Amino acid sequence: MNPAQIMEMAQFLDESRQAAREVSRITDRHPELSMSDAYAIQEAGIRLRQARGERVVAYKMGLTSRAKREQMGLKSPCYGVLTDRMQVPADGVFPLQGSIHPKIEPEIAFVVSRELRGKVGFEQAAQAIESVFPALEILDSRFVGFKYFSLPDVVADNSSSSHFVIPAPEHRKPFRGMDPAAMANWELVLSINGARAQAALASEISGHPIHSLIQLCELLEERGQALPAGSIVLTGAATAAVALEPGMRVQLEVAGLGALGVSVSA
């Protein structure tokens, strides 16, 4: 795709999001859409948001668990970029107005204290982690029915990003002194209105959430980018996502790490 087509598709998705109106897939018009075109559309879409004053604060990995890949019928991980405007306060209220067909999913997130670039080892990645905490990602796809799309479509659409919920800085656990091996056995339990809806171990996330961080650095390197110091990283959902409905109270508990919630309003 040429630069004009990339910009046209970025604007098409940006307008769809702002109008909360679902649209047909990019691959319907551009069957030749490559992964590199898709990330270029994603980047152009983020630049549109930055031009309106939004700040990039976080990255999200997607499709790092088998449950998610099966739910979406897609085979490999991808990433998306999150801005300050997408953050919902912990234990706050998320209004459904403005969303198309939102879903929520349980994740583990990190803050990295230093830049990570290219092929990073497990030890090096672990040493860069400043804090670790539960996170809820609210997804929304701009595509009709949130289904039947390909990986390049998802990537172009900023990997279905919509909003995210993370604890305030003072409620994030310092990583120093934690046993990275123990992290794989943390259980993430997602409850809806007090009833257990989804649960899985953190090892479902790329075998270990730190591997997801490493995969992110490799994917960024393919785009000639590094993960900046201070970035928040959502490592991907451990379970399938759950559709949001008005009145829902969503809670994520990770034994040994903490809890986080959000309420859904119309």
Q: Which residues bind ligand OOG (CB under 6 A)?
A: 60, 62-64, 68, 72, 105, 137, 139, 141, 154, 159-160, 236-237
Q: Which is nearer to ligand OOG, 179 or 239 (CB)?
A: 239
Which residue type, as a one-letter code, is found at position 134?
Answer: P
| Residue 108 in contact with Mg ion, rule: CB under 5 A | no
Residue 147 tokens read as: 């289904």
In the complex, minimum distance from the CB of residue 79 to ligand OOG, in angstroms, rounded to a whole number? 9
Q: Does 137 bind Mg ion (CB under 5 A)?
A: yes
168-181 in b/e form (b: 16+ CB < 10 A) is eeeebbebeebebe
Taking CB within 5 to 8 Å according to partner kind, which of ligand OOG, Mg ion, none is near residue 253? Answer: none
- Please report how close the Cβ of residue 75 comes to ligand OOG at its closest, in angstroms: 12
Min dist CB 69 to ligand OOG, Å, is: 8
Question: CB neighbours (10 Å) of residue 147?
Answer: 11
Chosen from Mg ion, ligand OOG, none, partner binding at 159 (C-beta under 5 to 8 Å by type): ligand OOG
Q: Considering beta carbons, is residue 148 or 174 the nearer one to ligand OOG?
A: 148
CB of 224 to Mg ion, least distance (A): 24
Q: How far apart are CA 23 and CA 28, in angstroms?
A: 11
CB of 165 to ligand OOG, least distance (A): 13
Nearest to 111 by CA among 86, 131, 85: 131
What is residue 77's three-state secondary structure?
Answer: coil
The whole-angstrom separation of Cα 137 and Cα 197 is 15
* Ramachandran assignment for 32, one of left (phi > 0), alpha (psi -120 to 50 degrees), beta (any other): alpha
Residues that bind Mg ion (CB under 5 A): 137, 237
